[in-house]
Amino acid sequence: MSEIFSRSNKVLDHNPRVAINNLTEDGSSLDWAIFALHALLFLGVLAWTFTTPPRRRIFHYISILILFITTILYFVLASNLGSTPVRQYLNDGDIINRTRQIFYARWVAYLLNFALAFFALQLLAAVDWASVWFTVFLVFIWATLYLAGAMTNSSWKWGFFGMAVFAHILIAWMALGVARGHIGRIEQLSHKSFTMLAAWEVFMMMMYAVAWAVSEGANKIHVDSEQIFYSILDTLSFGVFAVLLILQTKKLDLDYLRLSSHENGRLRDSHSILGGNGPARRTQNDKDVV
């Protein structure tokens, strides 16, 4: 009976260690706790979405995606999956060929989540589509560079680090410079919400550089300590941000920002199709002649 209620974490019995500096059962237990937290947030926001009019759900949908991805990420981390051993050129002591467990799944999730976050922010700022996609692809580059650096087993990894920092500077310029200036000229309430959320995410991204430098970069902290550092950042960058995104935008005029949906989907003016006689509907005869 005692075995049924045992709280010990046996994940390493099923998914063994892959490196010398590897996640332990304590680190896995922390990841399970963060998994549970984001799973609850995900379910809560999902339920919240059903109480929101469909035409105002765009930021709910983005928040749901962010929380779902984070929940999946921490299931992977807690299960000791999504990783590979990488030999560290900076070794603790005189251990030759010391390997560190690198979670590549982490940076894949960051690529998706930060892209979603800045996509939402650029929509909130009502900038042009060129600025939106330029910022999103900068995020792709930022995450890919950190992943490439983490997988490099020589000092050349700091070259990737430097380019990732430069990508972060460009992202900050697009968010706090271009986008913030644009929304500040046209709508003050959206400007206030955007400034708070954008500054939050830009600062969090800077902290990821610090976390990478002392873990995947310089191999100065244990993988368990890495989990603590990243879990705090992930909770603030994704969990808290997802909730704040909804709270800060729930009173905004989404019609003015052209972000609200309509009962006819993207066909906003059904009268131009059927002369006002009910909802728009295309038949076989309405197809374009080629």
Task: List pLDDT tens digits, range 204-238.
Answer: 999 999 999 999 999 889 999 999 999 999 999 99
Residue 190, pLDDT score:
82
Residue 286, pLDDT score:
44
Residue 259, pLDDT score:
72
Residue 24, phi then psi, degrees to nearest 5: -105, 180
Task: List pLDDT tens digits, range 87-110.
Answer: 988 765 544 468 999 999 999 999
Residue 183, pLDDT score:
85
- Asked if residues 64 and 245 have their Cβ atoms less than 8 Å apart, the reply is no
Residue 92, pLDDT score:
55
- Asked if residues 249 and 59 have their Cβ atoms less than 8 Å apart, the reply is yes
Residue 164, pLDDT score:
97
Q: How far apart are the C-alpha atoms of 290 and 81, rounded to whole Å?
A: 52
Residue 94, pLDDT score:
47
- Asked if residues 145 and 116 have their Cβ atoms less than 8 Å apart, the reply is no
Mean pLDDT of 83-87: 93
Task: List pLDDT tens digits, range 152-188.
Answer: 998 999 999 999 999 999 999 999 999 898 888 877 7
Supply the DSSP string of the chain, one letter for each residue.
-TTTT-----HHHHS---SSB---HHHHHHHHHHHHHHHHHHHHHHHHHHTS-GGG-HHHHHHHHHHHHHHHHHHHHHTT-S-EEEE-SS-STT-TT-EEEE-HHHHHHHHHHHHHHHHHHHHHTT--HHHHHHHHHHHHHHHHHHHHHHH--STTHHHHHHHHHHHHHHHHIIIIIIIHHHHHHH-HHHHHHHHHHHHHHHHHHHHHHHHHIIIIIT--S-HHHHHHHHHHHHIIIIIIHHHHHHHHHTTS-TTTTT----TTTT---THHHHTTSSS----GGGSPP-
Q: How far apart are the C-alpha atoms of 213 and 164, rounded to whole Å?
A: 12
Task: List pLDDT tens digits, range 247-283.
Answer: 988 887 777 777 766 555 554 554 444 344 444 444 4
Residue 265, pLDDT score:
55
Residue 119, pLDDT score:
96
What is the CATH class of 22-257? mainly alpha
145: which 2 tokens? 């560079």
- CA angle 194–195–200, rounded 5-degree value: 100
Mean pLDDT of 102-126: 95
With a pLDDT cut of 90, the percent of the chain lying above it is 61
- Every domain of the chain and the residues it spans: 22-257
Residue 126, pLDDT score:
86
Residue 22, pLDDT score:
93
Looking at every residue in the chain, the average pLDDT score rounds to: 85
167: which 2 tokens? 């990508």
